Amino acid sequence: MSNNDALRLTSLQLDTGGIVHPRLGLRIPIQIALVRGLLQKDMAEKLSGSDSTSGFYLDPSTNIRFSYKQLLDKCVIDRETGLLFLPVQARIHERRPSQTSSIRRSRVLIIDPTDNSQLTPYEAYCKEIIDLELYAQLSGKESEWEEVVTTDENGVVKSELFDRETGVRFNVDAALAKGLIDKQKLDHFRSGKMSPTEFVALLSKTSSKPYRLSPGLIPQSPNHNGHSSSSAGGELHSINKTTVAGIMDLQSLEKITISESMKRNLVDTITGQRLLEAQACTGGIISPFTGQRFSLQDAQLQGLIETSVAERITLAQRAYTGYENPKTGIWMSTAEAMCSGRLPYETGQRFLQAQVLTGGLVEPNTPGRVSLDEAERKGSIDARTARKLRDMSTCAQCLTCPKTKLKISLKEAIESSMIDPVTGLSFLEASATSTRGLPSPYSVHDGHSRSTSGRRTHSFSSSSDRQTPSPVRRRPSSPSYTSSFTTY
């Protein structure tokens, strides 16, 4: 027998009345046992020590180790039998948040008629096998959807489906609770019997709009009716809720894109980039001809921005779709990314100002816009940032007015822009030379030409009122394509 086992058994005897004499069966104190040679001196010293036998027995209620005597002291006596019973309380298991995810990819493959190789829609477009219209159509069928199942501290399970590429999110639990989809369809999707595209199409038809960018075309804004999701505060500084959509060339009387105005040297590079940032962080790049919004990738294909500019304003688009924490996988808002150091403060401040000016803050998992009061109440924005955003007089004059060549802020640019009464889009006037002190031909209007926000409206037309069609690439007789999806 090991010394540890001998110590434990002897301690058990001592705690229940004394050391048992092996021949007489009597219990004797430890001192007498030592004199009679029933215990060795080192064993007696260990039994007399306070720490030697304190950790043999685990209290099932507290998960703390005690000696047997200490457990006996905690026992209660049954009056009928005289037996001792150790009271045990049910242990409260601490719930920890958990998260599991599964990824489903839906891909479209196009067969090259020349060598029968498989191409992605983008590769086929670059090889001029398909035109721009078909590319946009097929790209909309591609997706990489991830279902994230989260369990919080209270055991509440939430299931969300979102596109890893664009940030579109659907609340699966809400759709089930409202009876918009049934358990059978969800099981078919999870088992692979239903493709991600089919399941998402079902959610798109039956549930509310997704939270973020949709593939290809982006909704005009998360809250297209022009009102914030919260009415508290009265703090939204723009009545029209629209950022600058394009430029009005006063020389040619044309509506042009911001990128085109940069090419014509009507708008400097910094101002052009800041105006495009304001579009990207509030919903997507705006076509000044149709009012439609596009992701950076599709805006390049539409000829609305240059690739070099798109690379510089990627962070602005993330301000709308959300910033993913690479360690936790949790999506953060712009304000949260600023606080965590993942986004420079001044850059994030510009994005937040643009969002406040156009209807409110954009937060992951929250449809529509969020007011400053609500965001501060939830703790998603700190008091210092909220205070700066409320005082729009602190807006940095980081733009150069393309008409007067004076330094202006984004708020001043929005307020001084013209509004097309047909589309409701805002256009900033631009001139090759400074017109400071000289009235613009668009400054003279009758009493009906002013909007409620004080911004001028004007009915204008030009040869570019229609969107310039993109060059049509050659398209073979009938390229074949297939759609496939995989589960990971």
- DSSP code of residue 369: -
Q: Say yes or no: 262 and 409 in one domain.
A: yes
Q: Which of 169-183, 209-223, 355-369 has the highest mean pLDDT?
A: 355-369
Separation of CA 57 from chain center: 49
Residue 437 included in any domain: no
Residue 458 included in any domain: no
Residues in contact with 199: Cβ distance below 8 Å, sequence separation at least 6, in sequence order: 145, 161, 185, 189
Give the integer Cα–Cα distance in Å for 99 and 312: 33
Predicted confidence at residue 98, as pLDDT, reads 60
Q: Say yes or no: 238 and 350 in one domain.
A: yes
Residue with tokens 């008091």: 383
Residue 325 included in any domain: yes
Q: Which long-range contacts (CB under 8 A, 24 or more apart) does 441-450 make?
A: 441/250, 442/248, 442/250, 442/418
3-state secondary structure of 410: helix
Characterize 207-222 residue by residue with b for buried, 16 or more Cβ atoms within 10 angstroms of its Cβ, and e for exposed. Answer: beebbbbbbbbbbbbb
Residue 144 included in any domain: yes
Characterize 239-277 residue by residue with b for buried, 16 or more Cβ atoms within 10 angstroms of its Cβ, and e for exposed. Answer: ebbbbbbbbbbbeeebbbbbbbbbebebbeeebbbbbbb
Residue of higher predicted confidence among 403 and 221: 403
Task: Kindly state the percentage of the chain with pLDDT values over 90.
Answer: 14
- DSSP code of residue 331: E
Q: Say yes or no: 113 and 242 in one domain.
A: no
| Mean pLDDT confidence for 273-283 | 94
Q: Say yes or no: 229 and 353 in one domain.
A: yes
**DSSP bridge pairs for 329:** none
Q: Say yes or no: 112 and 20 in one domain.
A: no
User: Which tokens go with 300?
Assistant: 């390049």
With a cut of 50, say whether residue 206 has pLDDT above it.
no
Residue 173 included in any domain: yes
- DSSP code of residue 457: B
Q: Say yes or no: 285 and 354 in one domain.
A: yes
Q: Say yes or no: 236 and 333 in one domain.
A: yes
Q: Say yes or no: 337 and 395 in one domain.
A: yes
**417 phi and psi angles, rounded to 5 deg:** -80, 160
CATH number at residue 120: 3.30.160.780
29, 64, 85: which is the final residue of a domain?
85
With a cut of 70, say whether residue 64 has pLDDT above it.
yes
Q: Report the range of poorest mean pLDDT among 102-111, 125-134, 366-375.
A: 102-111
| Mean pLDDT confidence for 379-395 | 84
Nearest alpha-carbon partner for 243 in 220, 227, 260, 209: 220
Predicted confidence at residue 227, as pLDDT, reads 33
Q: Say yes or no: 239 and 203 in one domain.
A: no
**DSSP bridge pairs for 227:** none
With a cut of 50, say whether residue 457 has pLDDT above it.
no
With a cut of 60, say whether residue 270 has pLDDT above it.
yes
User: Which tokens go with 86?
Assistant: 């150790």
Identity of the amino acid at 359: G
3-state secondary structure of 143: strand
Predicted confidence at residue 101, as pLDDT, reads 59
Q: Say yes or no: 336 and 408 in one domain.
A: yes
pTM for this entry: 0.47
Predicted confidence at residue 49, as pLDDT, reads 64
With a cut of 90, say whether residue 384 has pLDDT above it.
no
| Mean pLDDT confidence for 397-403 | 91
- Which domain does 53 fall in, by range? 3-85
Residue 286 included in any domain: yes
Predicted confidence at residue 459, as pLDDT, reads 43
**475 close to 266: Cβ distance less than 8 angstroms:** no
41, 63, 85: which is the final residue of a domain?
85
| Mean pLDDT confidence for 165-180 | 71
Residue of higher predicted confidence among 189 and 398: 398
Q: Report the range of poorest mean pLDDT among 39-48, 49-58, 220-229, 457-466.
A: 220-229
Give the integer Cα–Cα distance in Å for 120 and 125: 9
Predicted confidence at residue 265, as pLDDT, reads 92
Q: Say yes or no: 267 and 345 in one domain.
A: yes
Give the integer Cα–Cα distance in Å for 7 and 3: 6
Our count of domains for the chain comes to 3
User: Which tokens go with 220?
Assistant: 């005009």
85, 108, 125: which is the final residue of a domain?
85
Write out the DSSP string of 24-84: T--EE-HHHHHHTTSS-HHHHHHHHSSSSSTTSEE-TTT--EE-HHHHHHH-EE-TTT--E
| Mean pLDDT confidence for 119-146 | 73
Split at pLDDT 50, 70, 90, the class of 428 is very high
Give the integer Cα–Cα distance in Å for 214 and 367: 13
Residue 455 included in any domain: no
Question: From the CA atom positions of the chain, what is the Rg in Å?
Answer: 35
Residue with tokens 């309380």: 89
What's the start-to-end Cα distance of the chain, in Å?
Answer: 54
**DSSP bridge pairs for 143:** 106
Nearest alpha-carbon partner for 103 in 379, 485, 391: 485
- Give per-residue pLDDT as tens, 34-48: 777 777 777 777 776
Residues in contact with 431: Cβ distance below 8 Å, sequence separation at least 6, in sequence order: 250, 251, 266, 402, 403, 440
Residue of higher predicted confidence among 244 and 66: 244
Residue with tokens 């990738």: 297
How many other C-beta atoms can be found within 10 angstroms of the C-beta atom of residue 357? Answer: 26
Q: Report the range of poorest mean pLDDT among 155-169, 361-375, 420-434.
A: 155-169
Residue 445 included in any domain: no
Characterize 312-347 residue by residue with b for buried, 16 or more Cβ atoms within 10 angstroms of its Cβ, and e for exposed. Answer: ebebbbbbbbbbbeeeeeebbbbbbbbbeebbeeeb
Q: Say yes or no: 122 and 187 in one domain.
A: yes
Write out the DSSP string of 153-218: TT--EEEEEEETTT--EEEHHHHHHTTSS-HHHHHHHHHTSS-HHHHHHHHHHHSPPPSSPPSSEE
**DSSP bridge pairs for 23:** none
How many other C-beta atoms can be found within 10 angstroms of the C-beta atom of residue 60? Answer: 14
User: Which tokens go with 192?
Assistant: 């692979």
Nearest alpha-carbon partner for 198 in 235, 151, 161: 161
Task: Kindly state the percentage of the chain with pLDDT values over 70.
Answer: 66
With a cut of 50, say whether residue 225 has pLDDT above it.
no
With a cut of 90, say whether residue 20 has pLDDT above it.
no
3-state secondary structure of 418: strand
Split at pLDDT 50, 70, 90, the class of 104 is low
With a cut of 50, say whether residue 338 has pLDDT above it.
yes
CATH number at residue 362: 3.90.1290.10
Predicted confidence at residue 446, as pLDDT, reads 36
| Mean pLDDT confidence for 121-145 | 73
